[in-house]
Amino acid sequence: MKEERRTRAMKIHGRNTNLSLEPDFWQALGDIARDLGVSRVAIVAGIAERRSRPNLSSAVRVYVLEYYIARFRDNANRGDTVRADE
């Protein structure tokens, strides 16, 4: 079953922006924001400033993937295991 993308409006650097992501990416972005103690908007604003991809939605997906890869590697280097449901 294909998940429908959800679009959310946010203001990034004073500009109204619509960001369209699948529900799992919205959830992951929220989880990352909680881990870092910042808002989703703050994360997306940082991504928008540094992105090398023209599409912000794609840049956010890559950020989420890179965040979890780094987390996995950090845990693996410490000898910790990461469960798929974490």
Is 69's pLDDT higher than 80?
A: yes
What pLDDT score was predicted for residue 60? Answer: 96
What pLDDT score was predicted for residue 83? Answer: 57
pTM score over 0.75: yes
What pLDDT score was predicted for residue 77? Answer: 75
Domain 6-78 matching CATH 1.10.3990.20: the answer reads yes
The residue ranges of every structural domain in the chain are 6-78
Angle (CA) 80-42-86 rounded to 5° is 25
The beta strand positions in the chain, using DSSP E, are 6-12, 15-21
Is 16's pLDDT higher than 70?
A: yes
Q: What is the dihedral of CA 24, 85, 74, 71, to 10 degrees?
A: 10
